[in-house]
Amino acid sequence: MSDSAQVPKAALYYFPTSVWEEKGYGADELDLKLVDISKGENYAPSYLRLNPQATVPTLVVPLHKTLAPDMESRYKAIQDSKSIVEFLDKSRSTQSRTHTTSDAPAPSLSPATIAFSAVSTKLIDLLHTPAADPNALKYMNARTPDELRDLAASERPKFTARRAALAQLLADNEAARIRVSEKTRAFWEVKKVAMEKFLDVYDEADTPAEKLDQKALERREAFLKDAVDAWASVRDVLTQLNRELIGPYALGDQLSLADLHLAAWLARLVSLAGGTLTDDGAVAIGKLEVHVGGAGGGFALAKDFSVAEARRRAGLPVSDPESHERQNRLAAFWDAVRERPSFKKVYKDGLH
């Protein structure tokens, strides 16, 4: 057996599916391990040993020829999305020396020039700022009491399950059924308190304001204000993205690392705005504009990109090459990326 055949597979701990599809990894190269964060599985001691922050995804990769002769392999856990995407890109390309058996194309998604690299880094960093955090926006996707009732109906079961998982872990540690460090125990306590703060609001979402006591009313008002502020911050992020994108992809005609981050991020926001996979760019981003604008409305991204040119550069059919119709760059990006086989496979069951 050759040395390459002895190298074990990498393992991607995920929830839900992500970007490996674009690189064409084979089934014998990458194990996919679902971590159901809706049930608190990311807080289990076994997972915390891989990622002490309990975040998902985590990529565990085997390191070859770094060991003593009597050891078979050593593993490294890569714990943040930016590093994972960069690793997956570099480890399967025409230049890589890793154990790659898939016959699928392995295009390099790293920017080809220093200038493009700077733009890519700027966009990726923007998408990972607190103001752009799609998870926070999901948990706070309610700016009115009516929206809060709908949000609570969706999120309460998940938060309840996570709190129960944390409570069980704490109880098991207290009874010595499991043994963890004080640091881990304290981490569980902090996360449990965070869950309870959301549940304090979600659990009262069906109660009319006039029937809430003063503390409960203050909790609701504070939550709704924070939600308004959170979505207001997204306006600036979307405006900057629309300005920085070259189009139709982040760096022009070819898909790059920045597009993998943007596709997943934008899919989450379009979903929160009520968009669907069948929506074209104009409809999907239009719904997002309305949602971000909120009750005040008036939010619209600049339409400064030719629809015909965007489709031509993305390799999509152009019904009227002479059309002067314009669209915003995020709409052009949505039209381009949603036609990719990887995007269709990841979101085959709907946007999330």
- Same domain assignment for residues 123 and 269: yes
Long-range contacts (CB closer than 8 Å, 24 or more residues apart) made by 287-293? 288/238, 291/231, 292/231, 292/234, 292/235, 292/238, 293/235
Give residue 338's pLDDT.
Answer: 95
Q: Is 260 a member of any domain?
A: yes
- Same domain assignment for residues 121 and 165: no
> How does strand 305-306 pair with strand 10-14?
unpaired
Give residue 88's pLDDT.
Answer: 81
pLDDT digits (tens), the chain, 352 positions: 344 445 467 888 888 644 445 566 666 677 888 999 999 999 999 999 999 999 999 999 877 554 455 545 577 899 988 898 888 888 766 555 454 555 555 667 888 899 999 999 999 999 999 999 999 999 999 999 999 999 999 999 999 999 999 999 999 999 999 999 999 999 999 999 999 999 999 999 999 999 999 999 999 999 999 999 999 999 999 999 999 999 999 999 999 999 999 999 999 999 999 999 999 999 999 999 999 998 777 899 999 999 999 999 999 999 888 899 999 999 999 999 999 988 988 898 899 8
Q: Is 220 a member of any domain?
A: no
Give residue 76's pLDDT.
Answer: 85
Give residue 102's pLDDT.
Answer: 56
- Same domain assignment for residues 316 and 340: yes
For the chain, how many structural domains are there in total? 3
Give residue 264's pLDDT.
Answer: 92
> Which residues, in sequence order, are CB contacts of 313 under 8 Å at separation 6+?
247, 248, 252, 253
Nearest C-alpha neighbor of 9 from the set 26, 31, 25: 31
- Same domain assignment for residues 121 and 253: yes
Q: Which CATH number is 38's domain given?
A: 3.40.30.10
What is the Cα–Cα distance from 307 to 119, expressed in whole angstroms?
23
Range of the domain at 123: 117-128+248-346
- Same domain assignment for residues 276 and 325: yes
166-178 burial code (b ≥16 CB/10 A, e <16): beebbeebeeeee
- Which residues does residue 306 pair with via DSSP β-bridges, in sequence order? 326
- Same domain assignment for residues 24 and 79: yes
Give residue 269's pLDDT.
Answer: 97
Q: Is 109 a member of any domain?
A: no
End-of-domain residue from the set 206, 235, 256:
206
